[in-house]
Amino acid sequence: MLRFGVLGCASIARRRMLPALADAAGIEVTAVASRDLRRAQETAAPYGCASVEGYDNLLARDDVDAVYLPLPTGLHAEWIEKALLAGKHVLSEKALTVRLEEAQSLVALAQAHGLLLVENFAFLHHSQHAVVRESLPRIGEIRAFSAAMGIPPLEPENPRYLPDLGGGALLDVGVYPIRAAQLYLGSELEVVGAVLRRDPGARVDVAGSVLLTTSAGVTAQLDFGFIHAYRTVCSIWGSQGSLELRRPFTPPDDYPPVLRMEVAGEVTERVLPADRQFVKAAEAFAAAIAAGTDGAQILRQAALVEAVRSSARWVDALH
């Protein structure tokens, strides 16, 4: 059994990842840590595991082999480093780090210690994406890709609005379509242009648009933000047709996705099976322990995010 500790009691941990870790084959949740002991106790209670006050105290436990890290992005680098130095494998929520140089340092550290470090894009493990990849030949050669991830404005005190905690739409929701573009177009993508929208009150980017391209000129148009009605979508436009997923990134465990396809003027909609992408992500992590960290995908993702940030034109947010 791979014994997991959880560093923090964020919503994503309580709603999705802790239940997934508890249900995943070959995994046991042994401890949950928080800066507030009562919060740790409340979060740990349904799983019958230890509650720990303070993240360092969890890392010192000998009944923890790996940690899941759902802390704000700005805290990832510090606590991933501490976890790796404590000899723990790390499954970290996206974005792995704020800066590319931090990701490079952590990948090198994981490799030096023979430990696994994974950025948790759970959607990659949902079976709907396997079905899409199998269906691609029906729409011919890919000509263009587009994806969007947008959510309504958050409460003003939300950490995603705090620059010191790695806030901003790019690092929180923009990373989803960026990762999806690599899934479908491959790893050799470059940033052609980007726009990031700032909100002076929030001091972070609250929305953005990005244009990527492959060396052959296949483009990816990506949109994201905190100033929208909720929307997630992923579509691929080919030489013979097109296809679209409406919930490509965060579907509930009981949600049956719909794959919409149009070929030669004929539109079909195929209802796909619901899937537990977080359970499958946890099991994939456990299965990859023996291989250790490759790190190439982590660094490609971090490099693209850095390129978006450095090349973006900044404009005021729409109101």
Catalytic residues: 94
Given CA atoms 124, 127, 133, 139 in this order, what sign does their dihedral have? Answer: negative
DSSP, residue by residue, 68-115: EE-S-GGGHHHHHHHHHHTT-EEEEESSS-SSHHHHHHHHHHHHHTT-
Neighbours of 201 (CB within 10 A): 10
Residues written for the chain: 319
Buried b (16+ CB within 10 A) or exposed e, 157-195: eebbbbeebbbbbbbbbbbbbbbbbbbbbeeebebeebb
CA angle 146, 149, 150 (to 5 degrees): 130
Contact 81, 54 (CB under 8 A): no
CA-to-CA distance for 68 and 125, rounded, in angstroms?
17
How far apart, in Å, are the Cα atoms of 22 and each of 15, 120, 210, 277, 282?
Answer: 12, 17, 37, 14, 10
Contact 150, 228 (CB under 8 A): yes
